[in-house]
Amino acid sequence: MKYLEEFRDPVMAQKLLAGIATTTTRKWVIMEVCGGQTHAIIKNGIDQLLPRQIELVHGPGCPVCVTPLEMIDKALAIASRPEVIFTSFGDMLRVPGSKQDLFMVKSGGGDVRMVYSPLDALKIARENPDRQVVFFGVGFETTAPLTAMTVWQAYQQKIDNFSMLVSHVLVPPAMTALLSSPENRVQAFLAAGHVCTVMGWEEYVPIAEKYKVPIVVTGFEPVDILEGIFMAVQQLEQGRAEVENQYTRVVKREGNRPAQELISKVFQTTDRKWRGIGSFPQSGFALSPEFEKYDADKRFDLGDIRVEEPPECISGLILQGLKKPHECEEFGKRCTPQSPLGATMVSSEGACAAYYNYHRR
Ligand code: SF4
C-alpha cells in the first residue's frame, strides 16, 4: 500500500538505525508525545534497537489515559439516567471510573451505545426526539474538528435533544507544563503527526525556542519514528533546538485552516485537568458561549464531582516520562488489560497496555 509499505521497509530502518548509532555520542532522553507512537515503538521493538544512550520516554498523548476520573464519573452519572442514550467511541466504554465503567452501566439497563463518529450520535438524536442523546467528546486536536462539526450541525438543524460531554485536551500546553517542571528529563520531542495535520506546527516554534528543545513532527510507522529520532538526535548533537517536520507527506506548516476555523467557531480554550498529572492552564477545549446549550455538563447539572485516583497507580509519572510501566508494583499483577487499575492499562494506546501486550515485563 502506497505511503505505508515503504515506511515499514527493514532496509531503510537499518540505515536509519546506523545513522542514529554513528551520530550519538552521549545520553539523550527523547519523548514521543503520542500513544500511537508509543504503541508502534514497543510493538516493533524500536527502543531496544537504539543505542543504549538513547532513552525513549512515553508522553501524555493518549486521550483516554488523560481523561480525568471525575469526567468519567460524570459520564457514568449521565449514562445512568433513564431518559439518556449515551454514546461514545468504543475505547471509553471500559475505562474504569471510581466505582464502575460504561459497560457496567449498560449491563445494569443503561442505554449506552458505541459509535464510530459523533455524527452517528447526532443521527440517533434525530431518530429519537423524545430521548436525550449525549456524546462523550474525548480526544486531542485531532478529533476536535469532527466534534465541532457535530455541534455545528446540531445547531444548524436545531436538534435540541443532543449534547456533548466535552473533554478535549491540547498538546502544546502539556508539553510546556512538562518542560517547566523541575523534574523534567525530556530533551527532545517527537510531536504527534496527526495533531499537527490539523493544527500545523507553528505553535511549537516558541516552545522549541524558549526551552531549547528540538521538536520533530513525526508519523506513526517504524521508518517514520526512526527518522524522527534521527532528526532529533542530529539536532541534539549539533546543539540546535528547532521544529522540523518528518511527516511531510501529511503535515503542512499551517495545518488544516478550515478545520481550525471550525474549531474556533465552536470551542474556546479552557483550563483542563489531565489525569494523574494535574491541571494545566488553557490546555483544553470547552464549548464557546454561543454553543453552551449543547454542553451536557451544564444540561444535566452534575455539580462538582471529586474523586481520588487509586494510590497504587503511577500512570501520572509514566505520562510525564519519569517512570516506565514495569516499574509499577501492580503491573501485570493486580493491573492487566482484563482488569485495569488505571487508564494507561485500559486504552490500546496506553503505555502500560503496550508494555503488557508486547511482553515488556
Ligand atoms: S500498571 Fe496499572 S496501576 Fe500501574 S501505572 Fe499502569 S495503569 Fe496504573
**From the CB of 316, is ligand 1 less than 6 Å away?**
no
- Write the pLDDT tens digit of every residue in 31-74: 999 999 999 999 999 999 999 999 999 999 888 889 988 999 99
In this predicted structure, the answer to whether residue 24 has a pLDDT above a threshold of 80 is yes
The three cell numbers locating residue 184: 523534567
Coil, strand, or helix at residue 83?
A: coil
259-264: long-range contacts, CB 8 A cutoff, minimum separation 24: 259/145, 259/198, 260/198, 260/199, 260/200, 262/145, 262/148, 262/149, 262/152, 263/141, 263/144, 263/145, 263/148, 263/198
- Decide: 313 in ligand 1 pocket, CB within 6 A: yes
Instruction: Quick: pLDDT tens for 83-120.
Output: 999 999 988 898 888 888 999 999 999 999 999 999 99
**Which pLDDT score, from 0 to 100, does residue 288 have?**
97
pLDDT in tens, 241-259: 999 999 999 999 999 999 9
Cα 249 from Cα 231, distance rounded (Å)? 16
Q: Mean of the pLDDT values across residues 290-297?
A: 96
Computed on alpha carbons and rounded to an integer, the radius of gyration of the chain in Å comes to: 21
Angstrom distances, CA of residue 157 to CA of 143, 146, 152, 267: 21, 16, 9, 19
Superfamily of structural domain 65-169+255-299: HypD, alpha/beta domain 2 (3.40.50.11740)
- How do beta strands 278-287 and 267-274 pair? antiparallel
How far is ligand 1, taken at its centre, from the CA of residue 342, in Å?
5
What integer is the mean pLDDT of 19-39? 96
Select from 65, 322, 339, 341 the residue to mutate for testing ligand 1; criterion: most ligand atoms less than 8 Å from CB. Answer: 341
Residue 90: how many CB atoms within 10 A of its CB? 11
314: Cβ below 6 Å to ligand 1?
A: yes
Please report which confidence band the pLDDT of residue 297 belongs to, taking 50, 70 and 90 as the band edges: very high
Q: State residue 96's pLDDT score.
A: 83
CA of 180 to the centre of ligand 1 (A): 25
Sorted by where each begins, the domain ranges of the chain are 5-63+171-245, 65-169+255-299
Ligand 1 pocket, residue 355 CB under 6 Å = no
* Per-residue confidence band for 1, with pLDDT thresholds at 50, 70 and 90: low
Cβ partners under 8 Å of residue 210, min gap 6: none
Pairing mode, strands 132-139 and 84-88: parallel
Average pLDDT over residues 314-338: 93
CA 302 / ligand 1 centre spacing (Å):
28
Mean local confidence (pLDDT), 8-24: 96
Residue nearest to atom 6 of ligand 1 (CA): 352
Ligand 1 in contact with 139 (CB < 6 A)?
no
Check if 5-63+171-245 and 65-169+255-299 are the same fold. Answer: yes
Domain 5-63+171-245 coded CATH 3.40.50.11750? yes
